[in-house]
DNA sequence: CCTCTTGACGCACAAGTGTTTTGTTTGCTA
DNA sequence: TAGCAAACAAAACACTTGTGCGTCAAGAGG
């Protein structure tokens, strides 16, 4: 008997079948799915071989759970959307100078449209709390952000000096993208263009809504 | 009357729960999983809301099948490894002011690194002959393109007036990104910033290498 | 020949799970 | 206020599915 790494023909069949099934259906097969499609005479035969595969670490099983078969390692990760390169973030809406951002906490990030984010822009492991907004108007053109661009923002309420943030200026009820500087007891919001004047205000009057981590632009 | 985007709070919860559950476990939740974890009093309530989500096309259900709930659209595609709506283009190299572009025809596009391109930047059906270059230096900052940006170019040798193109100026042996204008018997290459002077030259002295169709920028 | 092991089998049971039925609550409005 | 539809609730029902247990055939070794 080859206890080592050798799989019986039937075990290989089953493993391949599970992979294909998940790919096709989006959920794992039941023992009887395997039995029927692979023309195995009994469910216990399937169960026996699944246990072998489990012992060898090729699959994981949640006992007592229907369709509780999951693939191990690479296959698993790939199916989980860690698909190597890019990830996805919700496109929550439009940012226009003068209008407040929707509160990401209150927006349905689940049902929102999602857009791809290349790993070259934001690595997948840093994609937490990142959302996207489409820019309307050219109010942020000094920050190299044009009308129609999609900006990627990581939701955070604090900022380091020099970071580009989406700041809500409370007494004006307006949101703009500016570089953030904390200078003594006041805040300086600096446009990227020296032709425009910076905004000086108190910390209480500024609510950071997120930091700009990326820009996507289509010129078609 | 639209609350949110037409989903009740509970439906949003359920949708989010399904997403998280699949991510955590690798297989979809049962109705009773949802019921218990979301503290819903009855399975029929879950079934009712799942049907609503199904009607709205946000999930897909395989009837009579345990855990036969699958997420629709993006999530689904993501799980299938189709990486969503975007496509991939080769990242051929670096564009620096003063150096000619590598000829895309002569580069091994098959072996080159590939980067994701969101459908929102370039729709997949328009991805033919598109390649990417990383920008080095700030020579194109007037075109809202900064150092480190990735520009997406469609390989073409002609351009319409006003299009942003990568133009090789032969007698200077330099490549820059400019807006292209054909005026009579000469070519005007117009920087995006009026503070810079346009370049006037003859058509023979200009070789269009590609048209800019998108920009990707990371600010991490 | 006998026994033990391995792989495979069949069956039945219990738990897991989706569906249906009937009725109730809630919020809105004509 | 009555009417109405969405949402919820409780229970019963029937099918699905994982598991346990007894059995069988073919080798291996004594």
Q: Which residue did the predictor score with more confidence, B139 or B179?
A: B179
Query: Looking at strand D, which nucleotides approach a protein CB closer than 7 A?
Result: 6-12, 15-22
Within an 8 Å CB–CB cutoff, is residue A192 touching chain B?
no
- Report pLDDT digits (tens) over B152-165: 988 888 888 988 88
Per the structure block, which two tokens stand in for A84? 């190597």
Both tokens of residue A10?
């039937």
B9-79 topology per CATH: Arc Repressor Mutant, subunit A (1.10.10)
Share of chain A above pLDDT 70, in %: 79
- What is residue A106's predicted lDDT score, i.e. its pLDDT? 47
In sequence order, the 6+-apart residues with CB closer than 8 A to the CB of B27 are: A27, A28, A62, A65, A67, A68, A69, A70, B67
Q: Does domain A87-216 have CATH number 3.40.190.10?
A: no
Q: Is B216 in Cβ contact with A121 (below 8 Å)?
A: yes
Residue A73 confidence (pLDDT): 54
Q: DSSP alpha helices (H): ranges in B56-131?
A: 73-79
B179 labelled catalytic? no
Q: Output the distance from B174 CA to C28 C1' rounded to whole Å.
A: 70
Q: Cα separation of A13 and A185, whole Å?
A: 69
Using CA coordinates, name the residue in chain B closest to A80.
B79
Beta bridge partners of A177: A166
B108's tokens: 């091994």
pLDDT tens, residue by residue, B70-124:
887 544 444 444 444 556 777 777 777 655 555 544 454 544 677 888 888 888 7
The answer, yes or no, to whether residue B63 has pLDDT greater than 50, is: yes
The domain limits of chain A are 9-79, 87-216
Instruction: Give mean pLDDT, residues B21-44.
Output: 88
pLDDT digits (tens, 9 = 90+) for B194-219: 666 788 999 888 888 889 999 999 98
Residues of chain A with pLDDT under 70: 1-7, 73-87, 97-112, 139, 192-196
In whole angstroms, give the CA distance from residue B110 to residue B117: 16
Q: Which of B139, B179, B194, B202 is catalytic?
A: B139
Pick the catalytic residue from A39, A41, A88, A178.
A178
pLDDT band at B31 (very low <50, low <70, confident <90, very high): very high
Whether the CB of B177 is below 8 Å from some CB of chain A: the reply is no
Mean pLDDT of the B139-158 span:
84
Q: Is the pLDDT of residue B46 over 90?
A: yes
User: A9-79 and A87-216: same fold?
Assistant: no
Residue A99: active-site member = no
Taking the CA of residue B135 and the nearest CA in chain A, the distance in Å comes to 13
Distance, in Å, from the CA atom of A89 to the CA atom of A56, rounded to the nearest integer, reads 36
Residue A22 CA, nucleotide D6 C1', distance (Å): 36
Q: Which nucleotide is nearest to A67 (CA to C1')?
A: D17
B78-137 residues near strand D (Cβ < 7 Å): none
Rounded Cα gap, residues B47 and B34, in angstroms: 10
Q: Tell me: the pLDDT tens digits for A72-125?
A: 754 444 444 444 455 677 777 777 765 555 554 445 454 457 788 888 888 877
Asked if the Cβ–Cβ distance from A71 to B26 is below 8 Å, we say yes
C-alpha to C-alpha distances, B163 to A71, B138, B192, B212, nearest whole angstrom: 49, 20, 11, 8
CA of A50 to C1' of C8 (A): 14
B5, B7, B12, B14: CA torsion to nearest 10: -150
**pLDDT for B1 beyond 50:** no
Q: Residue with structure tokens 């290989």?
A: A12
Q: Does B69 touch chain A (CB under 8 A)?
A: yes
C-beta neighbour count of A14 within 10 angstroms:
26
Q: Which of B40-49, B137-146, B169-178 has the highest mean pLDDT?
A: B40-49
CB atoms < 10 A from the CB of A143, how many? 24
Name the pTM for this structure: 0.59
């Amino acid at each position: 008997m080859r206890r080592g790494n050798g799989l019986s023909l039937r075990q290989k069949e089953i493993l391949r079948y599970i992979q294909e099934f998940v790919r096709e259906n989006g959920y794992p097969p039941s023992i009887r799915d395997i039995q029927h499609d692979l023309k195995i005479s009994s469910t216990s035969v399937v169960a026996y071989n699944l246990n072998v595969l489990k012992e060898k670490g090729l699959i994981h099983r949640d006992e007592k759970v229907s369709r509780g078969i999951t693939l191990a390692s690479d296959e698993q990760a790939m199916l989980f959307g860690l698909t190597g390169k890019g990830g996805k973030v919700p496109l929550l809406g439009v940012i226009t100078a003068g209008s407040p951002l929707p509160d990401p906490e209150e927006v349905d990030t689940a049902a929102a449209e999602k857009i791809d984010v290349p790993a070259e822009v934001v690595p997948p492991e840093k994609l937490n709390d990142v959302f996207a907004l489409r820019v309307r108007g050219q109010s942020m053109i000094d920050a190299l952000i044009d009308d129609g661009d999609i900006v990627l923002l990581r939701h955070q309420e604090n900022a380091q000096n020099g970071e580009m943030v989406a700041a809500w200026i409370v007494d004006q009820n307006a949101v703009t993208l500016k570089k953030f500087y904390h200078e003594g007891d006041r805040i300086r919001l600096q446009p990227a263009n020296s032709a425009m004047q910076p905004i000086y205000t108190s910390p209480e009057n500024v609510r950071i809504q997120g930091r700009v981590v990326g820009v996507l632009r289509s010129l078609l």
